[in-house]
Amino acid sequence: MLIVGTFVGGIAGYLGSVMVLKRMALVGDALGHIALPGMGLALLLGLDVSLGAFAFLLASVFLIWLLELKTSLPAEALVGVVFVASLALGFLLVPEPELLHSLIGNISNVGFFGAIVSVSLAVIVFAVIRSVRNDLILSGISPDIARAQGVNIKTQNLIYLISIAAITAVGIKITGTLLVGALVVIPAAASKNISRNLKEYLFLSVLFGIFSSILPVGTMIVLVSVVIFVFSLVFKNFRKAV
């Protein structure tokens, strides 16, 4: 279980680092909620919850991406709409006894097979994001420069959203749908407070992600990462003062 936490937490931190720079911090949070109806369906059908979540996330991500292309509305607004719709649907679908676990998660629920799937997915996502990371960050700084450089922003955004969906799908077992956003966002936000360059930033995001995910309970994981964040904030202000 420790290994799953390490991998998923670390990669979530890595993904989150790009997300924070692209100012999409709440997208991870929203995607966590979007996963809920997928989990509900999986539970009803006796399937693995991550599988249901992933299928649902993938469909939603694609829908959001497509709407963004067709309507030129900001992704944020679209995610917002799909998010509340999913949450409402999720509460209807998830059987009540499982509802609490779905919401706040439990890493000790992850079986051996689930562990292997989670770790492999995390490794794949890491490799994918690593290859498109610079272009993603550049398009966050200036879409025009990125496109003038030949970056295909639409495709990269889709790859990025699918990666978030994959990590969210495995992350929900650890922290549950309510808190999975924290897994992605907080390590990166903490790391951003104290990093002077990209290398430090990415490294610390992963490190903080790993460090907070070694505990067995979702709520604890989030609280630990919040504590790291508070420390990073203090350190940042201390450095400014000196």
Partner 1 sequence: MKNSIVMSDKTILDVKNLSVDFDGEKIIDNLNFEVNEGETLIILGPNGAGKTVLLKTLLNLLPYHGAVKWANGVKIGYVPQGLPLFALRELPLSVEEFFAFKKVGKSEAVIAMASVGIYDSAILKKRIGLLSSGQFQRILVGWGLIGNSDVLLFDEPTSGIDIGGEETIYNLLDKLKKERNLTVFLVTHDLNIVYREATKVLCLNKQKLCYGLPKEVLTSENLARLFGENVGFYEHHHE
Nearest approach in angstroms of CB 35 to partner 1 is 30
Give the nearer residue to partner 1 in terms of CB position, either 86 or 205.
205
The Cα–Cα gap between 242 and 233 comes to 14
Closest by CA position to 204, among listed 196, 195, 213, 217: 195
Give the nearer residue to partner 1 in terms of CB position, either 19 or 122.
19
The Cα–Cα gap between 139 and 141 comes to 5
Closest by CA position to 109, among listed 182, 48, 35: 48
Give the nearer residue to partner 1 in terms of CB position, either 128 or 138.
138
Q: Interface residues with partner 1 (CB under 8 A)?
A: 21, 134-135, 137-138, 141-142, 144-145, 147-149, 191-192, 195-201
Nearest approach in angstroms of CB 24 to partner 1 is 15
40's CB contacts (< 8 A; 6+ apart) are 52, 89, 90, 92, 93, 94, 95, 102
Nearest approach in angstroms of CB 44 to partner 1 is 44
Give the nearer residue to partner 1 in terms of CB position, either 142 or 237.
142
Give the nearer residue to partner 1 in terms of CB position, either 95 or 143.
143
Alpha carbon distances (Å) from 66 to 60, 71, 115: 10, 8, 32
Nearest approach in angstroms of CB 129 to partner 1 is 15
Nearest approach in angstroms of CB 32 to partner 1 is 25
